[in-house]
Amino acid sequence: MYFDNKVIWITGASSGIGEALAYELAKQKTTLILSSRKKEALEKVREVCLRVNKEIYIEVLDLEKYDSMQGIADKVIAQHGRIDILINNGGISQRSLTKDTILEVDKRLMDINYLGTVALTKAVLPTFLKQQSGQIVTVTSLTGRFGTPYRSAYAASKHALHGFFDSLRAELVNDNIDICMVCPGFIKTQVSINAFVGDGSALNSMDDRQDNGMDVTIFAGRMMRAMRKKKKEVYIGKKEVVMIYIKRWMPWLYYKMIAKVAVR
């Protein structure tokens, strides 16, 4: 099995996609390192994972404090000897019009979603290069490929990740290191509840599209299949995924549709 005997590090593992991945990967013969800002929530996820796998560890980190990523990565690598798969899943969303969004919110989204992820990847990269093996999986969003209303700063941070990891993939083509970009559509998680609004506070409500999104366990299974197949980029969701192809092949139609799409 692809995941057997691998050391896998998941960020954003205390809820949502990261939590679902932890439960599914724990069923494999893996060593899991679960990370997020929320220690108590991580402990609860770990307790569930321990029912089927004893090699489950916690490492608390805050992606917004990206200067701390090197020290945390050094600690994790020293404890486990290697990292086989890094799953960059941690991040935060947005629900606000650009005109209503203070610049500090744009900065925080870039710090958390982009710089935190890049800093952790750079901290782990020397180990992958030394091993001459590894997989870096980064969860972005369909909005990493097209922008929508109410997501300007979020889309910017996700677009930035695609630029960074496309470049990194090209640099690592001879190093046996695979990079997979995973672009979710609407997945039924708490992401909208925690999303920033214009003043930097949390939305604290579930939006309809998120509530009717794909079941997160189904999503996790499809993501794991993409990882096994070493896909370079994959789009996972319901009918919203079609917007990727409309923009690619019929941009005139995309620009008409996207201004009217209900994304709140």
Sequence-distant (6+) residues with CB within 8 A of 62 are 37, 68, 116
Residue 202 has pLDDT above 70, yes or no: yes
**Separation of alpha carbons 9 and 165, rounded Å:** 18
Which pLDDT score is estimated for 205?
A: 85
Give the Cα separation of 224 and 98 in Å (integer): 35
pLDDT of residue 199: 95
**Mean pLDDT value of segment 238-262:** 92
Residue 190 has pLDDT above 90, yes or no: no
Note the pLDDT tens digit of each residue in 128-153: 999 999 999 999 999 999 999 999 99
Q: Which two tokens stand for residue 180?
A: 């997979």
Q: Which domains does the chain have, with CATH numbers?
A: 7-258 (3.40.50.720)
pLDDT tens-digit profile of 2-42? 999 999 999 999 999 999 999 999 999 999 999 999 999 99
Task: Cite the active site residues.
Answer: 154
Q: What is the pLDDT of residue 210?
A: 84
- pLDDT value at position 211? 82
pLDDT at 264: 65
Helices (H) and strands (E) in the chain, counts: 11, 7
Helix (H) or strand (E) holding 9: strand 7-11
For residues 109 and 153, is the Cβ–Cβ distance under 8 A?
A: yes
Q: At 109, list the tokens.
A: 């989204």
Tokens of 200: 């930097």
Residue 121 pLDDT? 98
Alpha-carbon distance of 176 to 51, in angstroms, equals 34
- The type of residue at 117 is T
So what's the pLDDT on residue 241? Answer: 96
pLDDT over 80 at 234, yes or no:
yes
Residue written as tokens 């708490």? 190
263 pLDDT tier (thresholds 50, 70, 90): low
Element (H, E) at 50: none
What percent of the chain clears pLDDT 90, i.e. is strictly above it? 91
The whole-angstrom separation of Cα 189 and Cα 119 is: 26
Helical residues (DSSP H) of the chain, grouped into ranges: 16-26, 39-49, 69-80, 103-109, 116-131, 152-171, 191-194, 208-211, 216-228, 242-249, 251-258
Query: What are the tens digits of pLDDT across the range 96-137?
Result: 999 999 999 999 999 999 999 999 999 999 999 999 999 999
Are 24 and 221 a contacting pair, CB within 8 Å? yes
**What does the mean pLDDT of the chain come to?**
96
- What pLDDT score does 112 carry? 98
pTM, 2 dp: 0.96
Identify the pLDDT of residue 260.
82
pLDDT higher than 70, residue 81: yes
